Homo-oligomer: A and B are copies of this chain.
Amino acid sequence: MTEDQGRRRAGGRAARQAARAHDTTVHPPFLTRTMAPFEVLSEEGLALIEQNAETILEEVGLDFRGDADALRLLREAGADVDGERVRFPRGMCRRIVQASAPHEFWQVARNPARNVHIGGMSTVFAPAYGSPFVRDLDTGRRYGTIEDFRNFVKLAYLTPYLHHSGGTICEPVDLPVNKRHLDMVYSHMRWSDKPFMGSVTQPQRAQDTVDMARILFGADFLEENVVLISLINANSPLVWDSVMLGAARNYALANQATIITPFILAGAMSPVTAAAVCAQTLAEALGCMTFVQLVRPGAPVVLGSFASSISMQSGAPTFGTPEPALVLYAMAALARRLGVPFRSGGSLCGSKIPDAQAAYESAATLQPTVLAGVNFVLHAAGWLEGGLAMGYEKFILDVDQCGMMGVFIKGIDLSENGQALDAIRENGPGQHFLGTAHTLANFETAFYRSSVADNNSYEQWLEDGSQDAAQRANAVWKRMLAEYQAPPIDPGIDEALVDFIARRKASFPDSDV
């Protein structure tokens, strides 16, 4: 290597890293879209799906299992209850939800600069949720631990492109099932200052989450403010079970938000066709949102939709295919018509590793997520293998895409600086713009800068070791964790949280259910 090449290379690298380290861009705490959503169905098409959802609620009904109080509430509100089967007169659910569920709301973080708006033109990105396994390039695939969990909380805290700390980012399989929620919730509270999600795996664990939030925020504060948002999944088709109903009830009683989400692998939990998936999703969500509004009118609910196709050969779930994208767009429109915030999408994929399959599939989910106008995006980063594994490198790659979405949704700057007519006038035909005043004035912020893309020459890329995107991402997450510094917390509050957890853990034996 000649001296010149050495200088050029060191200079280029150092300059790039310095530019990133001193990135002074102010990142918003959530995205505010500026464009009307993409629509795949006409008004008539959407109305047809709504009518079909009402038909399902009226004729088939939903099972509310193992929760006598839910059945009582629904009966008193006018539903026809036969054993655990609940049938709803046409329009009943929609009327009850529209009467009291908020159109939009704020979730408050312990750092108020991190508060997120949920609904309307806002979009909030949260990490993936629920994987038993984690994967990184160094150790491959293995069961998740509380250390992995903390690592992902820290990474989500550090990136400006995720707005939320999420919930069960990965299962800390090294901790007992019946106590790990305490450590997970504490990790969100302690190692991040972004908003987060609560436990739902038992009603009591939801209550523990609420109790810890009361310590962190003050008990009175929760009555007036949403500080928790939690994921309530249906047992599709058409079943809500006692665990989910109990968790939803405890959050609603504390005036905290829930995301009411039918989880549908089309062909298994619903018919294979998109119109049927939409009608069934809407029916299931309406039923449970109605229950929540009966528990506490005004408790925030988000309409969720998780829909994937399956391989009709093996029955395995498939992601990033066109059919779930159509469902996503239609469900977003249905949520807008209902008047509640919408959760769906993310960076979903079936691939086991962060390869081209993973990226195509994730992009084919995240683009519709943003263009449909999803308000709360779980699984925005890290998801691999149909949700079975949380990937360190995948997380970094996905977060980069989330960053690009933040630029995209701002739209085109039509200011005089954006139009740049004078620059074109001054430059004239045949002259490049690299050194013009307009370029120099705008170059720092002109284009999104990826943390993982390699746009160097082929020769430079060879010289740098012919790395693929996953290998570069590996270096990024390690550097981030090495540089992590915890956000400050009131020592008295921290002590009270640690004390609460210790007392709860001592009060019942470990168990793996």
Please report A residues at the B interface, Cβ cutoff 8 Å.
12, 15-16, 19, 35-36, 38-41, 45, 48, 52, 55-56, 59-63, 85, 141, 235, 237-239, 266-276, 278-280, 309-318, 320-323, 325-326, 330, 350-364, 367, 371, 385-386, 388, 397, 400-401, 404-405, 407-408, 411-414, 417-421, 423-425, 427-434, 436, 438-439, 442-444, 446-448, 450, 452-458, 461, 466, 468-470
Contact = CB atoms under 8 A, between A and B. Distances in A.
A244 B405 CA distance: 37
A407 B321 CA distance: 9
B352 A458 contact: yes
Given A40-B411, A432-B269, A447-B323, A418 B276 contact: yes
The 7 closest A-B pairs by CB, nearest first: A363-B363, A359-B359, A238-B429, A276-B420, A271-B420, A272-B446, A322-B408
A455 B141 CA distance: 17
A430 B323 contact: no
Contacts of A63: 429-430
B235 A433 contact: no
Given A269-B433, A425-B59, A458-B388, A356 B276 contact: no
Contact of A40 (B35, B268, B419): B35
Contacts of A456: 314, 316
Contacts of A453: 318, 320, 350-351, 357, 361
B454 A351 contact: yes
A271 to B, nearest CB: 4
Contacts of A12: 313-314
A320 B469 CA distance: 14
Number of copies of this chain that the complex holds? 2
B469 A439 contact: no
Contacts of A405: 322
B407 A237 contact: no
A52 to B, nearest CB: 6
Contacts of A309: 446-448
Given A272-B442, A275-B419, A360 B357 contact: no
A326 B116 CA distance: 26
B314 A455 contact: yes
Contact of A448 (B323, B397, B432): B323
Nearest to A472: B357
Nearest to A403: B322
Nearest to A393: B356
Scoring A61, A386, A401 by chain B CB atoms within 10 A of each residue's CB, the highest score goes to A401
A454 B60 contact: no
9 contacts: A12-B313, A36-B39, A271-B438, A272-B439, A272-B446, A311-B455, A312-B447, A350-B454, A360-B469
Nearest to A323: B447
B455 A350 contact: yes
A358 to B, nearest CB: 6
Given A16-B313, A330-B412, A352-B461, A273 B60 contact: no
Nearest to A11: B313
Nearest to A309: B447
B361 A360 contact: no
